[in-house]
Amino acid sequence: MRVTFVLPTLGHPRHRKRMQALRRLGVEVSVLAFEREGQLGVIGEGTTSLGVIANEEFVRRGGVYLRALRIIRRAARRSDAVYTFGVDLLALVRASIAGLRRRPALATEVGDITAILVEKGRRGRIARRLERMVLADDALLVATSPAYISNFYVGVQGLPERSTLVIENKVDPTLTPAPAPRPADDGPLRIGWFGMLRCEYSWACLKRLAEEMGQDVEIVLRGVPYAGCAGLAEEAEGLPNVTFGGRYRVPDDLPSMYGGVDLCWMVHHDPDRPYENWGWARSNRLYQAGWFGTPIVGQAGKDDATVVTDHDLGIVVDVTDVPGTIAALRGVSPTDLGRWRRNLSDMPRSAWALTDEHAELLKRLG
């Protein structure tokens, strides 16, 4: 089977994971990608550039998109399926294959719900109607969270469930396990916040926790400070019990990172984005912490926090209530950590690691 992927940018880990999984199943994969500033990858063998686009400069993209239509059309003629990341790119593919006698199967993957799609007014209604037109009945919609499907694409957009598939951001089952955790009562409580470090509420809370608990807590930060947390690295230098380790390699650095902390900080609150965007999402950290047996600190009201509470895998807090969050973390005992670790070890591997999701995807594309 031949599948062409159309990417909005190069180097995204989730895009790589999807393509690698299909290659392992014997699929002949080709890649078409737009290039833009700040991308994580480069055009290499097996990848064709669709042109360079500037962030936020939508008017200037017209010429790039017109040239991309011809490239996509040529690739689609040779493909059994075309897989896009984003409904906007699916619209571009639909335009490119108009009139083809032999049309490839179409699929698009959604990693979040954009703000305009959940607006209450006229703009939101128009956006939702346009999205429904692009998705239609002949495209498979893949989402990274079950809440996106049940709450929005089936619940609001009215897609039939047969046209949807959930592939969560689970880890590769071949990922190396974490080293054995240190004893729960060995030294200060160590909390790790990993990934895209952009939740200002989280950073404000962790800073205050570090100041109030002193030598009884250590905060370990790894990843990329972003937006309101852009100055995080400099601020961390002034706190003796906070360390910022910078970027990390996935999956190489994950075992030591998760194995070196008592709690994984999965908290996120973003008042500037609609709840549907961040509240329904399931963090990569959920699956990584679960796989490595690291108890979790979740955000109350988020979909992924229900996994923590349903199986007693950690603690759930409301980070907008800083005193309440700090009090809850102060109350974490070695007994709690031991119980949460045992509960994590009792969970099936399939809760955290991919199983037959990509075989099902291939079946649906075929």
DSSP for 199-212, written as a single string: -HHHHHHHHHHHHH
Please give the pLDDT value at position 10: 86
Residue-averaged pLDDT of the chain? 93
Backbone angles phi, psi at 98, to 5 degrees: -55, 130
CB 256 within 8 A of CB 219: no
Q: Does pLDDT of 110 surpass 70?
A: yes
The CATH homologous superfamily for domain 189-350 is Glycogen Phosphorylase B; (3.40.50.2000)
Pairing of strands 242-244, 263-265: unpaired
d(CA 138, CA 70): 22
- Taking 60 as the threshold, does the pLDDT of residue 154 lie above it? yes
- Residue 212: partners with Cβ closer than 8 Å, 6 or more residues away: 326
Q: How far apart are CA 295 and CA 334, in angstroms?
A: 12
* Total Cβ atoms within 10 A of residue 114: 17
Read off the pLDDT of each residue in 255-276 and give the average, rounded to a whole number. Answer: 95
| pLDDT at position 56 over 60 | no
pLDDT reported for residue 203: 97
d(Cα 307, Cα 292) in Å, to the nearest integer?
16
Around Cβ 319, how many Cβ atoms within 10 Å? 23
pTM over cut 0.95? no
pLDDT of the residue at 9: 87
The tens digit of pLDDT for each residue in 183-215 reads: 767 789 999 999 999 999 999 999 999 999 999
345/312 Cα distance (integer angstroms):
12
Which whole number is the average pLDDT over 69-74? 96
For the chain, the first-to-last Cα distance in angstroms comes to 8
Residue 63's pLDDT band, with cuts at 50, 70 and 90, is confident
Q: Report the percent of the chain where pLDDT is more than 70.
A: 95
pLDDT tops 70 at residue 347 = yes
Q: Mean pLDDT lowest for which of 8-12, 179-183, 220-224, 266-270?
A: 179-183
**pLDDT tens digits along 11-29:** 888 999 999 999 999 999 9
The CA distances from residue 335 to 20, 342, 366, in Å, are: 41, 11, 50
Using DSSP's 3-state secondary structure scheme, residue 45 falls into coil
DSSP string, 266-332: -----TTS-HHHHTS---HHHHHHHHHT--EEEETT-TTHHHHHHHT-EEEE-TTSHHHHHHHHHT-
pLDDT for the residue 39: 54
* pLDDT exceeds cutoff 60 at 88: yes
- What is the full DSSP assignment across 135-192? HTTTEEEEESSHHIIIIIITTTS---GGGEEE---PBPTTPPPPPPPPPTTSSSEEEE
State the pLDDT at residue 253: 95
| Superfamily covering domain 2-172+355-365 | Glycogen Phosphorylase B; (3.40.50.2000)
Residue 45's pLDDT band (cuts 50, 70, 90) = low
CATH 3.40.50.2000 residue spans of the chain: 2-172+355-365, 189-350
Q: What's the token pair of residue 99?
A: 């009139």
